[in-house]
Amino acid sequence: MKFLKFTILLLILPNLIFGQDKILKKCYQNQANLKSKNFEFKYTEKQYSFRHASYPWQKAEDILKGNIFIHSSSITTIDSVDEKMRKTFIDAKTYASTKFGINELQKLTHLDYDNRKFKILQFSPLFLLEEMYKKKLKSDNENSRHKIYNIEINKEKIEVFISKKTSLIEKIRKTYYDEFYGDLQTTILYQNYKSIDGKYFATKVNIEKIDGKLVDEVEISDIKSISRIENTLRIPTDYKLTEDSEIKPEILYNKFSDNIHLLELKHTDDKVLIAEFETYLIVAEAPMNSKNGELIISKAKELFPNKPIKYFAFGHYHPHYIGGIRAFVNNGTKIICSEINKDYATFLSKTKHSLNPDKQELNKMEIQIELIKDKLVYSDDQNELEIYFIGEKSAHSNDYLIYYFPREKVLFQDDLVWIKSDKEIEKASKRQAGLYTAIIDLKLDVNTILQSWPVKDYGVKTIIPFSDLEKSMNVK
């Protein structure tokens, strides 16, 4: 009996050590290993995002439609949104793509390639299965329904859930770091599989993003085996991905007046306001992420070592203005915000950043809030600042704030004025008209308008005479 057990162990041991995992091997045969086979199918995707909307968590929807062509080593897509076409090609070495409505190749980086490889999983897990099979992955976990496989690609953890019953992928979950939201998960759920020419394709796919706050929906139809794939995207022989350039933080100081100071963050193209009072500072705007917030605090302490940052305000909830809020919460600074974005600010202060810890992650501080309803005034013998809630009047977001210095007749705001530096003044946009109306309604005596973003990227003025805004209102 002992001899029999020993013999069986000898027979299976090589497979356990060197061979392919049984479930993974069968899944690979079911969903990859195309060899000379080619497939084509149509898809419709409802894609959701939190773009620059009017209020926190407002969803924007895009409908994408197109055709997918799958070869053993490449995936080609021809799709469109709002009748603007895009073509993409990706294989084991490269990624090429046009933009929607522009028939020329983009300049893409290796990071773009990695992001596209994950995005393409919603249509086919081909590349991922090839990688898993090549590495001879073993399942290191399981539940009642699935064998679970873990693979790390570009420092991102990916879990693959393969059904024990069907040997088909039912779920893929990626854990990654986002500079704005912190630790996130995206989960792809595959349903309603259909077999075509011996290979299996999910015809319904849901993509849960930002920890399930957004759910994209993909419907796949008209799957068919084809003899060959036409080359629809002409890629030059010398085409190659560009290297990912490291963005080095750079901050410049500009003294606008005795009590109004500006920090220019060249790497984000933003200006940050520091209002100086007798015993404290007020900072407005902190772009994109905690690291920038920490950089701003460090610079303010260098410039004004004896004056603490008592208040931090963000003109509205978009990342260019609220992105660095966690640094100020951790600094013990009181956050000025409205009822509209109070919960959003609190949420950002509490998100996990364990994958790339900031100071708030390492030493959690509770957010302190000073609510603004219509107006807040901060004044002493040195300076006076009035902060106004103009909300929907901005024609941009429902939580919009502007900052007015009555003694200097200067108004600071985020991004409402788009007057070109080198062109004739054009008719005011809705945003410009909204700011002008707010200034008139509030009876503010303004000589100069300062703008936070953009500084250089779009060629617009960031120090704007109020007369320019008036002129734009009179252009027909």
- Name the token pair of 241: 């991905």
Q: Strands 368-371 and 375-379: what pairing? A: unpaired
- Name the token pair of 195: 């077999």
Averaged pLDDT in 10-residue chunks for the chain of 476 residues: 48 50 95 94 96 90 95 92 92 91 91 88 93 93 96 88 98 95 96 96 97 95 93 87 88 97 96 98 98 98 98 97 98 98 97 97 98 98 98 97 98 97 93 98 98 91 97 94
pLDDT per residue over 209-262, tens digit each?
998 999 999 999 999 999 988 878 888 989 999 988 888 999 999 999 999 999
CB 403 within 8 A of CB 275: yes
Q: What angle do CA 39, 45, 49 make, to 5 degrees?
A: 140
Find all residues with CB under 8 Å of 303, minimum gap 6, and list them: 253, 261, 274
pTM over 0.85: yes
Closest CA to 328 of 295, 277, 282, 294: 294
194: which strand partners?
Answer: 201
| % of the chain residues with pLDDT over 70 | 96
Tokens 């001899």 belong to residue:
3
Closest CA to 77 of 463, 207, 86: 86
466-474 vs 430-441: helix crossing angle, rounded to 10: 120
Strand order in the sheet with 309-313: 251-255, 260-265, 270-276, 281-284, 309-313, 334-337, 368-371
Q: How far is CA 205 from CA 15, 39, 88, 274, 424, in A?
A: 34, 18, 20, 48, 50
Specify the pLDDT at position 13.
Answer: 45
Specify the pLDDT at position 1.
Answer: 52
Specify the pLDDT at position 471.
Answer: 96
> Using CA atoms, how far apart are residues 31 and 162, in angstroms rounded to an integer?
11
Specify the pLDDT at position 14.
Answer: 45
CB 152 within 8 A of CB 131: no
Which value, to the nearest 10 degrees, does the dihedral of the CA atoms of residues 422, 428, 433, 437 take? 80
pLDDT per residue over 24-71, tens digit each?
999 999 999 999 899 999 999 999 999 788 999 999 999 999 999 999
* Domains present along the chain, CATH in parentheses: 21-226 (2.50.20.10), 251-474 (3.60.15.10)
